[in-house]
Amino acid sequence: MKKKVVLAYSGGLDTSCAVRWIIDKYDAEVICFCAFIGEVPDPAPIRKRALAAGASKIYIEDMKEVFAKEYILPSLWAHARYEGKYLMATTLGRPLIAKRLVEIAEKEKAEYVAHGCTGKGNDQVRIEVGVTSLNPKLKIIAPLKEWEFRTREEEIEYAHDHNIPIAVTKKSIYSLDKNIWGIAIEAGILEDPWTAPPQDAYVMTRNLDNVPDKSREVTVDFVKGIPVALNKKKMALVPLIETLNQWAGDYGIGRLDMVENRLVGIKSREVYEAPAATVLMSGHEELTNLIFDREYLHFQRILSDKYADLAYFGLWFTPLKEALDAFFGKHQHLVTGEVKFRFEKGNATVIGRKSPHSSYSEALAT
Ligand code: ARG
């Protein structure tokens, strides 16, 4: 019997070449899996490309809701920011992909999974550690760490030689990874940590010279820790996040430029945008602060840092991370209330908060 490999497929040049390369190199059957956790593009050309590259089958799934409920929400409750800043949009997507890869491999009786991450980043570790945590029997193939191509041109030539249709879209000069929780912008001139990001590097937020002059008030309602309404309009979690990305992005809210310590031991300069995430995190923290006592608040900060480290290092499916979820989940039924923001020129300033479970006493404060 032929070996079976389930490949995390993006539809891009790397993973399209990877399909063919695995088939030839490993004499295997390749099944692709493509998850949408940001924009949901037309699946037809993606399917066509995967099959043209030689895949026997492709799973294409809109996983935004799972992403929001099982990955974004727990990290929102944990107030998780890597190195105190990064809201981890990319980070949180990787265990989701790892988990679904494992499920599909088990269903298809495949003994291999594969991914298109390079050998320098965090993502390879997150996917590999995620897969191994969930099913240690699965073997992992990482074509980009193994193959002989050195340049993009060589890959394009390989694609041509093997009749793999590649997307004609112009490749960004940056390396981008985007989903509903934010975007990471890396590489190119940004690798010099002294070079300011050019205005056109940004994707989700407007430049400050292009935001409305007039500020705008926005309220966010939380019920039991879950954001449920914007300006009193009830919304499901995914559309709420998407709407807030638009509203906050219009005001240039949620930009971050940092040098971060990768788990592989190198420092990298990262430019991030996370409009909705920035507002929701600040809102959830504000309510938490209004409701709980000093001891709880001071102690949970320690765990927030630990939570972010675990997520960032790919230790999502681990006993400690699960135990921390239990800790942060324990009192979410009290996190109900409303936070009022003023959006103005790059900032979402908290200007009011209220909750039926508030511990604040005006009488004592006066
Ligand atoms: N450094 C960030 C992280 O580790 C962003 C990584 C972006 N990944 C990418 N494939 N472009 O979460």
The per-residue pLDDT for range 142-172, each reduced to its tens digit, is: 999 999 898 888 999 999 999 998 876 666 7
Residue 244 alpha carbon to ligand 1 centre in Å: 22
Per DSSP, the chain holds a count of helices (H) and strands (E) of 13, 14
**Residues within 6 Å of ligand 1 by CB:** 90-91, 121-123, 175, 177, 184, 186, 270
CA–CA separation, 247 vs 287, rounded Å? 21
Catalytic residues: 14, 94, 123, 175
The mean-pLDDT minimum among 28-37, 62-71, 118-127, 218-227 falls in 118-127
Query: What is the share, in percent, of the chain residues with pLDDT greater than 90?
Result: 91
Each residue's pLDDT tens digit, 108-138 = 999 999 999 998 899 999 999 999 999 999 9
| More confident call, 228 vs 153 | 228
By the 8 A CB rule, do 113 and 140 touch? yes
Average pLDDT in the 53-66 region?
A: 97
Using only C-alpha atoms, the chain has a radius of gyration, in whole angstroms, of 22
Average pLDDT in the 266-292 region?
A: 97
At residue 123, the pLDDT reads 95
Pocket test for ligand 1, best of 37, 83, 88, 123 (most atoms within 8 A of CB): 123
Residue 320 alpha carbon to ligand 1 centre in Å: 23
By the 8 A CB rule, do 209 and 236 touch? no
Each residue's pLDDT tens digit, 314-334 = 999 999 999 999 999 999 999
pLDDT band with cut points at 50, 70 and 90 for residue 1: confident
- Stated as kind and residue range, the H or E segment containing 30 is strand 28-36
Q: In the predicted model, what is the mean pLDDT of the chain? A: 96
Name the amino acid, one letter, at 279: V
Handedness of CA 183, 187, 193, 198 (dihedral sign): negative
